[in-house]
């Protein structure tokens, strides 16, 4: 029997995004808007590590919809100063959104996330495979 290769199993975690290209160089300012990510795999887990320094944990959001894991953040800062007849008001806004296809063998109920020292770590445990699979050689008559 030939193995079945599906798109999800062939390229796990890959989610194309038009803004990853430099087709829109003004909009694709990767250095400031897209956090770097490392993806690791071992026997029991997949792991995503995103470098997101300077962001408060309360500003991070992780959602799962079907087979897509979305990690995003939205920060708004405003300051106002009134002094000696003048008024100064400043504001800033930053946001990012990363999407990842989740492989079929991930146990979606046990996904965990931890944020420490500017690194968001997401652990995606693999489902245990059936250990009682019967294998045998069939003789041809």
Tens-digit pLDDT profile for residues 77-93: 888 888 888 888 888 88
Residue 140 resides in a domain = no
Average pLDDT of the chain is 79
The domain that contains 79 carries what CATH number?
A: 2.60.40.790
What percent of the chain has pLDDT above 90? Answer: 42
Token representation of residue 68: 């897509």
Residue 20 resides in a domain = yes
Looking at residue 8, what is its pLDDT?
Answer: 46
Residue 138 resides in a domain = no
More confident residue, 138 or 27: 138
Average pLDDT over residues 102-125: 94
- Count up the domains in the chain and report the number: 1
Average pLDDT over residues 5-34: 52
Query: What are 41-81's pLDDT values in tens digits?
Result: 999 999 999 999 888 899 999 999 989 999 999 888 888 88
**pLDDT at 16 exceeding the cut of 80:** no
Distance CA 79, CA 108 (A): 41
**pLDDT at 36 exceeding the cut of 80:** yes
Beta-strand pair 119-125/60-65: unpaired
Q: Give the H/E segment covering residue 98.
A: strand 86-101
Owning domain of residue 39: 7-125
More confident residue, 104 or 18: 104
**pLDDT at 118 exceeding the cut of 60:** yes
Distance CA 50, CA 38 (A): 7
Distance CA 60, CA 74 (A): 7
């Amino acid at each position: 029997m030939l193995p079945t290769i599906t798109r999800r199993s062939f390229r796990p975690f890959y989610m194309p995004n038009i803004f990853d290209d430099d087709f829109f160089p003004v909009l694709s300012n990767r250095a400031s808007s897209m956090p770097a990510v490392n993806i690791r795999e071992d026997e029991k887990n997949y792991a995503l590590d995103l470098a997101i320094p300077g962001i408060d944990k309360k500003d991070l959001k992780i959602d799962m919809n079907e087979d897509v894991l979305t990690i995003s953040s939205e920060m708004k800062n405003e300051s106002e100063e009134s002094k000696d007849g003048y008024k100064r008001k400043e504001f800033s806004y930053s946001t990012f959104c990363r999407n990842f296809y989740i492989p079929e063998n991930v146990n979606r109920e046990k996904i965990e996330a931890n944020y420490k020292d500017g690194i968001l770590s997401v652990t995606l445990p693999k489902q245990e495979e059936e250990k009682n699979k019967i294998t045998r050689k069939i003789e041809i008559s």
